[in-house]
Amino acid sequence: MADNKDTGSVNIVRRLWNYFTHPSPSYSILAIWAVGLAIGITFWGGFNWAVEASNKLEFCISCHEMENTVYQEWQKTIHYSNRSGVRAICADCHVPKDWTYKMIRKVGATKELYGKALGTIDTPQKFEAKRLELARNEWARMKKTDSRECRNCHTFEGMGYEKQKQRAKKQHEFAKKDNQTCIDCHKGIAHNKPKGMTEEEEIGG
Amino acid sequence: MTKNLITASAVGLLLAGATGAGLAAPDWSKVPAKKTTVFQPGVASLEWILNGSDHSGVRGVRKGETCNACHEEELADIGKKIASGEKAEPKPVKGKAPSIPVTVQATHDGTNLYLRFQYKAPASAGVKQDDKSQVKLAVMLDAGKVEYGTIGGCWATCHDDLRTMPDVNPDSPKHAKAKELDIRKNGPTKYLKETRTALETKNKPRGGWDKLKSDAEIQAALKEGKFLDMMQFRSGEGPREGYVLDARRLKAAPGLAEGKNEGGTWTITFTRKLAGNDPATDHALVPGKTYTIGFAIHDDWANERYHHVSLGYSLALDNPKADINVVKQ
């Protein structure tokens, strides 16, 4: 949420990133990745500042894979601009607040380094082709935690049902009864919905 | 017995005819007024409602929630979304009102049901689809036996493969029973799921127009009261009445309805026997029972699917708990 620019530390992390992602041709990619992974995890684990830096919006969109797609879409949503002036940035939804959770997400994110190096989503076409798979990973993660990141800012308890639209009110009453979680129904809240979702995914299974 | 019935209904029809001409008219000022909104439904058919990718509200529908439970307070917004083409309307009509507020009143005198609808005609879109009637108003009644009747009123009859709907089969007029089922050159009319062996809600073409059950099964459904009773006012032609089962079956019903436009406000009144003008195909309205009523207005020379539709409302005789309380006077 905090949007104070701390580009210094972001740049360090980013340089590290570039170092990993632009390996010199004389080493085998695999060897570099093995070392890179180890260093990466140690760094993230050992230096909280690096973790903090990597939670900045600038960091996430330092890769064009993130900037040209999901970032643009997010800017058109209520989590970017709303009457309350509270902005939910990438890490608010994607990086758990609690440090141990954070580490799990970070280690998970090393997949993104591989992805970057391999160019899994480096064109808009490739991104769209993979969007459903990436989204499903996020949905599964959020479902497991009962949408913890959403609930950091929103709760059923805090909702003034009487102030909500009728359909929202009704659905939230159901959701509470059926133990559904936010992400069951609020898919595509910050980005375009992936194509090819199943009916059950659409209605919160 | 049957002969008596026929005579009775003939007399009923005559009587109904007479009422139109002026049996003691009810005092409408004593009748509670239900304010509703009819809206453009676009192509949001029953299949659309039941398809989770189109309508996530299907979760509630599966549990038996009525459309009104989620939508009653937001009907004008739904109309706007559809009229603009944002949702469920591939061919919006420019200038057509997204929704129309309507007041509904109902009363009875122990013999007849009197139903009155009033609405202020919205601005014209200047498109003439029906060259005979400027206004048509259709009413459908369910007696609690039709699947989706209580939940959705008219929605029980609306399908993706009806005429002017997206999945209509261009060869449907060649069906062996086309004449009997009133399949016109542009496709079938309304039908109920009860009369079909299957209803496709996922893959195109959606619906089940040609998956007919046997005649015996359809007749059995009619006997069990699994049909929607229907009446229609037409400003340019006479009123009609009948029912929706395997198809929409209507016949002329002189005196059933009358309507007038005074200073831009339409007032349309129906008069029919509580017991039904034709007991075989009308639902008898009896005390202590709750029915569902849905209605649709073809305003501004509209035709076919370009009407404004209501959700389903409960209706009962002398029951203040019903959405539409048919009070005695």
Task: Tell me the backbone φ, ψ of residue B18, rounded to 5 degrees.
Answer: -65, -40
- Cα separation, A190 vs A81, whole angstroms: 11
Q: Is A165 on the interface with B (CB under 8 A)?
A: yes
Q: What is the mean pLDDT of residues B190-201?
A: 98
Chain B residues inside the 8 Å CB shell of A171: 57, 60, 70
In A145-178, which residue ranges form alpha helices assigned H by DSSP?
148-153, 166-177
Q: Is the pLDDT of residue B242 over 70?
A: yes
Residue B53: closest C-alpha in chain A = A199
- Over residues B186-209, the mean pLDDT reads 97
Decide which of 1.10.10.10, 2.170.150.20, 1.10.540.10, 2.60.40.1190 is the CATH code for B2-328: 2.60.40.1190
Q: Which helix (H) or strand (E) holds A99?
A: helix A99-118
Facing residue for A170 by CB, picked from B52, B58, B60: B60
CA of A48: how far to CAs of A54, A92, A100, A106, B157, in Å?
Answer: 10, 17, 12, 12, 62
Residue A9's pLDDT band (boundaries 50, 70, 90)? low
Q: Look over chain B and give the mean of its residue pLDDT values, rounded to a whole number.
A: 93
Considering only CB atoms, which chain B residues are within 8 Å of A165?
73-74
Is some CB atom of chain B closer than 8 A to the CB atom of A203? Answer: yes
What pLDDT score does A158 carry? Answer: 84
Mean pLDDT of all residues in B87-110? 97
pLDDT at A97: 79
**Chain A contacts of B60, Cβ < 8 Å?**
170-171, 174
Does A170 contact B52 at a Cβ distance shorter than 8 Å?
no
Q: How far apart are CA B68 and CA B88, in angstroms?
A: 19
Give the pLDDT score at B20: 43
Q: What residues of chain A lie within 8 A of the CB of B49, using their CB? A: none
- Name the pLDDT band for A204 (thresholds 50, 70, 90): confident
State pLDDT tens for residues B11-42.
444 444 444 444 568 999 999 999 999 999 99
CA distance A76 to chain B (A): 17
CA distance B169 to A25: 62
Contacts of B236 (CB under 8 A, 6+ apart): B130, B132, B133, B134
CB contact under 8 A, A167 and B70: yes
Q: Please check the confidence at residue A47 and state whether its pLDDT lies above 90.
A: no
Put simply, the answer to whether B56 touches A166 (Cβ < 8 Å) is no
Give me the residue spans of the domains in chain B. 2-328
Residue A101 has pLDDT above 80, yes or no: no
**Does B58 contact chain A (CB < 8 Å)?**
yes
Whole-number pLDDT of residue A25 = 47
Most confidently predicted of A28-32, A50-54, B259-263: B259-263
Judging contacts by C-beta atoms under 8 Å, the chain B residues touching residue A203 are 52, 56, 58-59
| A204 contact residues in B (CB cutoff 8 A) | 56, 59
H, E, C per residue of B65-119: CCHHHHHHHHHHHHHHHHHCCCCCCCCCCCCCCCEEEEEEEEEECCCEEEEEEEE
Q: Is B56 on the interface with A (CB under 8 A)?
A: yes
Inter-chain residue contact A166 with B53, CB threshold 8 Å: no
For A103-126, write each residue's pLDDT tens digit: 666 666 788 888 888 899 999 999
